[in-house]
Amino acid sequence: MKKILLLGLLLAASANSQSQVTYERLLGASREPQNWLTYSGRYSGWRYSTLNQINPSSASRLTMQWTFQVGDLGQFETTPLVVDGVLYGTGQNDRAFAIDARTGRAIWRYQRNLPEKLQPCCGMVNRGLAILGERLFMATLDAHVIALDTKTGNLLWDVTSADYRKAYTFTVAPLAVKNELIVGISGGEYGVRGFIDAYDAATGRRLWRFETVPGPGQPGHETWERDSWKTGGAPAWITGTYDPDLNLVYWPTGNPSPSNYGGERGGDNLYSNCMLALDADTGKLKWYFQFTPHDLYDYDATQIPILIDAEWEGRARKLLIQANRNGFFYVLDRTDGKFLFAKAFGNVTWATGIDRDGKPVVNTSLKTSPYGTRVCPGALGLTNWYSPSYNPETGLLYVATSTECDVFTSSPQPYRAGHDFLGSVYVPDPVERPTGALKAIDALTGTEKWSFPYFSNPNGGALSTSGGVVFAGDSDGNFIVLEGKTGRDLWHVQLGAAIYSAAITFELDSKQYVVIPAGSALFAFTLPLNVTPIHAPHAPSDPSPTPRAELIFKHLQSCQGSKK
């Protein structure tokens, strides 16, 4: 009896450990293509999978497997996680859910009880969860960080990070590293003072905070005019990446506040629009690189930092690449932040180039004014927060781009806590209708290899795989599979509403799934593996009628008759 009990306990423990997502599993996420364990799929930010069932030969046979309706409205920006057959995601207005990844049936749903007066700049959105152990972690619109039980969705802990009444808010998917959750605040359109926090996954206790606008006595404080630092913005609203060997977290920051008027915040405004390298254990700044000093055009650097190891000028280097909202593609040395290379990947007028130190050569004739100035890219950037994808097999970075140029006006605006703080109005160039494209860029040279045109400027990102395909979504509701090497359209389907995220992929029952959010639903596609090609039976050289054939024929005739 004892033996049976012990065996039962062992089996239970085994099943339990299967669902435990340890830090070691996150480190080895690339070895678990059947799952999708972090926001970008792995710490390096590649949004790439080694699954290859869906490839240029098979993509045209993709078939919808299931749909899951979130039950809310607004932009659906989640990146779901998939762990051992369970898919975890978030929805608008801080919903969360777990569903059976095979069928799309809900296991539990969570709805945050949000206060009435919230001030997110750009929708009641949430971009996803992090997982560690048997807990899911979510950063909420009312500026809390919470932990949920993976099996029930029950709230395990809830900590306040900042005051939502002053427009501090979270939209980011947390990053789980070791025993901590790392999150970055939103609110750059409201004059918050940005920060990046780490919380203990077990207790919710805050472990460290890095303030992205340095206060008095801190390095970088001198880059702010008078008291402008107090409302300096520099939010950190997209999930960073992590190099475990260097123990550095790479986290990009957003625009200074007010976003389009710089007259009262003279200086470079550190650490707005920067790439920050932070010690994962302490939050101490190892290095920074600022892409757009003293920004006037809302060029948040909140695009995914992608970590690649490659030969650069004859020696192996640890690189960080980023296609930045300001229109330039950058290559940095991620050990020390040294600038290596930059190149425009579209139409850029705000700067004429990047100098040898990585600083933009600003086109001073285009400064914003009360009368309006046309600037490219527009405020939404040449690209934006939506994830790019890096494929190590093609060496290409796939990035969604927009052609929009905007006419910026600019004037002083008094700060009021909790109210927008823009100093501007911008409108799209009234002459040229903005469009978009998914571009494939050589990750080391910035050279464009191909471009797939979108009718409208995009809000959706990309996913690439070993199958040699890129999954992408456009603002007109098309989910598209392109050939990774050429950009050839292999298959597409109209999902009926704009796509505001990037796809993920996983494997279950030996089937590769690809999941994309569109409108207010998740759509899952697979290949119909059980369908075998139809072949005509091989004809013998001299077929002859047999009594059995006659019986079969008469039986078929009677079946046909009964249908009438």
Partner 1 sequence: MPANGFEDSEIWSIIAYLRSLVPPKRPIVSGDPGKGKKIFFESVGCSNCHMVNGRGGLLGPDLSRVAASRSLSYLIDSIRQPDKDLSSGMTDPNNHYGLPLVYDAVTVVTAAGERITGVARNEDTFSVQLLTSDQNLQFFLKKDVKEVIHERKSLMPPYSEDVLSARQLQDLIAYLETLRGSEDNGPKEGR
* Token output for 238: 């997209």
Q: Which residues are paired to 343 by β-bridges? A: 329
Of the pair 295, 404, the CB lying nearest partner 1 is at 404
Residues 498-537 that bind partner 1 (CB under 8 A): 498, 500
CA–chain centroid gap for 469, Å, is: 18
With contacts defined by CB under 8 A, name the span among 44-52, 125-133, 152-160, 475-483 that binds partner 1.
475-483
**Binding residue for partner 1 (CB under 8 A) from 72, 264, 333, 476?**
476
* Token output for 239: 């999930």
What is the 8-class DSSP label of residue 256?
B
With contacts defined by CB under 8 A, name the span among 24-32, 322-330, 493-501, 535-543 that binds partner 1.
493-501
Of the pair 255, 457, the CB lying nearest partner 1 is at 457
Binding residue count for partner 1, defined by CB under 8 A: 32
Residues 281-320 that bind partner 1 (CB under 8 A): none
Question: What is d(CA 361, CA 367) in angstroms, rounded to the nearest whole number?
Answer: 13
The H or E element spanning position 10 is helix 2-19
Residue 6: how many other CB atoms lie within 10 Å:
10
CA distances from 561 to 205, 516, 549 (A): 75, 46, 18
The SS3 assignment for 93 reads helix
- Check if the beta carbon of residue 150 is closer than 8 Å to that of residue 136: yes
Question: What is d(CA 355, CA 353) in angstroms, rounded to the nearest whole number?
Answer: 7
Question: What is d(CA 544, CA 504) in angstroms, rounded to the nearest whole number?
Answer: 55
Of the pair 242, 454, the CB lying nearest partner 1 is at 454
x-marked contacts with partner 1 along 380-409 as a string, rule CB under 8 A: x-----------------------x-x---
Of the pair 185, 499, the CB lying nearest partner 1 is at 499
Nearest approach, Cβ of residue 261 and partner 1 (Å): 16
Name the residue among 426, 430, 432, 451 with its Cα closest to residue 440.
Answer: 451
The CA angle 518-521-527, to the nearest 5 degrees, is 80
Question: What is d(CA 131, CA 126) in angstroms, rounded to the nearest whole number?
Answer: 15
x-marked contacts with partner 1 along 118-157 as a string, rule CB under 8 A: -x--------------------------------------
The SS3 assignment for 558 reads helix
Question: What is d(CA 127, CA 174) in angstroms, rounded to the nearest whole number?
Answer: 9
488 binds partner 1 (CB under 8 A): no
Decide if 542 is catalytic.
no
Question: What is d(CA 319, CA 334) in angstroms, rounded to the nearest whole number?
Answer: 5
**Binding residue for partner 1 (CB under 8 A) from 150, 368, 475, 505?**
475
Amino acid at the residue 441 = I
Nearest approach, Cβ of residue 411 and partner 1 (Å): 13
The H or E element spanning position 248 is strand 248-252
With contacts defined by CB under 8 A, name the span among 89-97, 316-324, 360-368, 412-420 that binds partner 1.
412-420
- Check if the beta carbon of residue 321 is closer than 8 Å to that of residue 412: no
Of the pair 157, 164, the CB lying nearest partner 1 is at 164
Question: What is d(CA 535, CA 439) in angstroms, rounded to the nearest whole number?
Answer: 40
Of the pair 66, 426, the CB lying nearest partner 1 is at 426
Nearest approach, Cβ of residue 428 and partner 1 (Å): 5
497 binds partner 1 (CB under 8 A): yes
Amino acid at the residue 544 = S
Phi, psi of 268 (to 5 degrees): -75, -20
Catalytic residue among 298, 300, 406, 474: 298
The SS3 assignment for 467 reads coil
Of the pair 62, 480, the CB lying nearest partner 1 is at 480
492 binds partner 1 (CB under 8 A): yes
Residues 414-473 that bind partner 1 (CB under 8 A): 416, 418-420, 428, 430, 433-434, 453-457, 459
Residues 31-90 that bind partner 1 (CB under 8 A): 75
With contacts defined by CB under 8 A, name the span among 46-54, 232-240, 296-304, 476-484 that binds partner 1.
476-484
**Binding residue for partner 1 (CB under 8 A) from 346, 378, 381, 461?**
378
x-marked contacts with partner 1 along 348-367 as a string, rule CB under 8 A: --------------------
Question: What is d(CA 271, CA 301) in angstroms, rounded to the nearest whole number?
Answer: 11
Q: Which residues are catalytic?
A: 298
Site residues, partner 1 (CB under 8 A): 75, 119, 378, 380, 404, 406, 416, 418-420, 428, 430, 433-434, 453-457, 459, 474-478, 480, 489, 492, 494, 497-498, 500
